[in-house]
Structure 1
Amino acid sequence: MKLLLPEALRAELEARVRAAAPGADLAWYDDHARPDQDVSDVDVLMRWWFDAQTLNGLVEQLPSLRWLHIPRAGVDNSLVSAVMARDILITNSAGIHAAPIAEFVMLYVLDHAKQAGLLRSSQAERRWVGRQVQLAELTDKLMLIIGLGQIGQAIAARAAAFGMRVVGSRRSGAPVPGVSRVLADGAWRQMLGEADYVVIAAPLTPQTRGMFGAAELAAMRPDAYLINIARGEIVDEAALIDALGRGQIAGAGLDVFSTEPLPAEHPLWGLPNVFVTPHVSWLSPEIRPRTISLFVENVRRYAAGEPLRNIVDKHAGY
């Protein structure tokens, strides 16, 4: 068994991987994904933070590769041609980002309900707004979560703790704690007209790309708020900008965009009913140690011939 691992994690990984898989050979690649030795016999690759083209080139150098681990939940930019063309097992890091992202969703919700932006700007202006500000409660408000994976479930738990009613969708339609109604497939569309908050937490796949467009926005209530912490390409950005500009919906909290970084001239920056954040909802000092612990546990399982955690269906895209 030979593993190719990121040099950037060597201090944290080496001893733990050797303990999990005694006798394994280790090779390392630098920040440009350049291996430090011959890698023709590598059967395990841990990807780190480089682009899809670089991943494709690295995998092409690994004819014996059998297992690829990805340090994120979304696998859309890891399903490169070199990976799809071969029988390579893929695992992801689904679940490690659930807590910070779910907390970030509640930041958007509370910011909108309690008008935090207005209150902070009035503080900066030393202006006492008093009862002029219109505040809302979260109790009994309906949150629709599109995608009840580990992140969606973590969002549901936190929304329920605030007294919100939660409805969500998942492929299986199986029950989820804290979710009063679970909808299968595309049945979430029938709830758009009832939801106070609509949260997109689905993976980016050929089926979800562009699935939230003008028709879905038109089905939302004018006082409803859209939150996207999944992938920007799931939402038709032009339709969203139009809906926000015309006041068709109350506003949006957006952490992901079709183009990242979001260009300075992009109209979303200037819309007063949009909370733009720079794809940081997943950030936490706990992410790195969780990523390493998950990978090391899977190395132990791989060496022992046990089933791995977080196996991805690369044809489904998650």
Structure 2
Amino acid sequence: MKLILPDHLIADIEPHLPSGIDVVEVDSEGNLDGDPSDAEVYVNGFYLKTSTHDKVLTAAPALRWQQSPSAGVNHILTPTFLQKDIILTNGAGVHAIPISEFVLAFMLYHAKNLRKLQTLQNEHTWVRGVFLEELADANLLILGTGNIGKAIASRAKAFGVTVWGSRRHPEPLPNFDKIVGADEWRSLLPAADYVVIATPLTPETRGLIDETALRSMRQSAYLINIARGAIVDEAALITALREGWIAGAGLDTVATEPLPPESPLWSLPNAFITPHCSALSPRLRERIAQLFIDNLKRYQTGQPLRNVVDKQAGY
């Protein structure tokens, strides 16, 4: 069997491969070190470009299965890919710990007024009367209750937060006080102190957080996006932050990445911008390799693969 592996993950995956496996290396531009024409399996790299993806798909007509290290696969489900009969599996679960911790960091950053405290330190100013909030008894609405949403709920519960979630098919889940359907979450916005976007980007979720949603939120509410930037109507969000419809936003992802230098988001005092880094962890590559090796064993023995993507649903 032959695999196509990205150059930056080979060192993590290759030592764990079973015998009888041939590897073709591919770089971020889609240049292949070897003959990929009979490769069955493709592990794509981080930050996969459409041009790179199309180049590999053209060079490897025998592909039957593609594993992505990312949970979101909107960038993979291109017309070129959808024309092919390739099973797609994603990295759901491997990012849950670091991203959920990052969400709690955003929440604590807002609740404990860390921007103000850092400013006071920079100004060598001692002020004891800084307003600080508690997370205990706050209401958190998580849009998307997959692996990441569940991990966020677990950690938020430890702080005494009331946790609500939304999903297409509502059902009770541990650490959630309430689960509503995909069309019911808007009714919870007026009571939510924190709203976290943890849902995949699909045609249905594009622009989901629109002007109506932002105007429905409390003026004291804080929006956090660790999913995909296009889920938020960015122009409406900028207006909401400028005019005080909401208290602020923690954004690990934006509509155009890297965020253009001229974007108003850079200079808004109530926006905390991070460079799509919430999933980064020293253990990330280890988890990606473990998931792939387990799926490879399943593939070779005809067992169901983990994290198979529904191409129509988009996740």
Give the alignment's TM-score, normalised by structure 1. Answer: 0.96
Distance in 1, matches of 2:182 and 2:151, equals: 20
Instruction: State the SS of the aligned residue for 1:240.
Output: helix
Confirm or deny that 1:204 pairs with 2:201. yes
Return the offset for 1:28. 2.1
Q: In structure 2, which of residues 32, 35, 53 is the aligned counterpart of residue 38 of structure 1?
A: 35
Contact 1:3–1:27 (Cα < 8 Å) also in 2: yes
Instruction: State the SS of the aligned residue for 2:97.
Output: helix
Give identity over the alignment, percent.
51
Q: In structure 1, which of residues 77, 80, 83 is the aligned counterpart of residue 81 of structure 2?
A: 83
Give the alignment's TM-score, normalised by structure 2. Answer: 0.97
Confirm or deny that 1:6 pairs with 2:6. yes
Query: What is the match of residue 64 of structure 1?
Result: 62
Confirm or deny that 1:294 pairs with 2:291. yes
Counterparts of 1:32-181 in structure 2 under 5 Å?
32-49=29-46, 50-131=48-129, 133-181=130-178
Distance in 2, matches of 1:36 and 1:127, equals: 58
Return the offset for 1:185. 1.5
* Counterpart amino acid of residue 147 in structure 2: Q
Structure 1 unmatched ranges of 5 or more? none
Distance in 2, matches of 1:260 and 1:7, equals: 23
Query: CA deviation digits over 1:29-62, x for unaligned, max 9?
Result: 2343222222221111110133122101211221
Distance in 2, matches of 1:56 and 1:130, equals: 58
Return the offset for 1:24. 3.0
Instruction: State the SS of the aligned residue for 1:130.
Output: coil
Q: In structure 2, which of residues 228, 236, 255 is the aligned counterpart of residue 239 of structure 1?
A: 236
Distance in 2, matches of 1:31 and 1:204, equals: 23
Return the offset for 1:233. 0.3
Query: What is the match of residue 258 of structure 1?
Result: 255
Instruction: State the SS of the aligned residue for 1:168.
Output: strand
The size of the alignment, in residue pairs, is: 314
Distance in 1, matches of 2:288 and 2:95, equals: 9
* Counterpart amino acid of residue 309 in structure 1: R
Contact 1:56–1:81 (Cα < 8 Å) also in 2: no
Contact 1:60–1:82 (Cα < 8 Å) also in 2: no
1:30/1:272 CA distance change after superposition, 3 Å: closer
Distance in 1, matches of 2:27 and 2:229, equals: 30
Distance in 1, matches of 2:108 and 2:311, equals: 36
Structure 2 unmatched ranges of 5 or more? none
Distance in 1, matches of 2:238 and 2:34, equals: 50
Distance in 1, matches of 2:28 and 2:273, equals: 30
Distance in 2, matches of 1:265 and 1:30, equals: 31
Instruction: State the SS of the aligned residue for 1:227.
Output: strand
* Counterpart amino acid of residue 225 in structure 2: N
CA-atom RMSD in angstroms: 1.2
Contact 2:137–2:160 (Cα < 8 Å) also in 1: yes
Return the offset for 1:161. 0.6
Distance in 2, matches of 1:225 and 1:9, equals: 36
Instruction: State the SS of the aligned residue for 1:192.
Output: helix
1:274/1:99 CA distance change after superposition, 3 Å: same
* Counterpart amino acid of residue 181 in structure 1: K
Query: What is the match of residue 224 of structure 2?
Result: 227
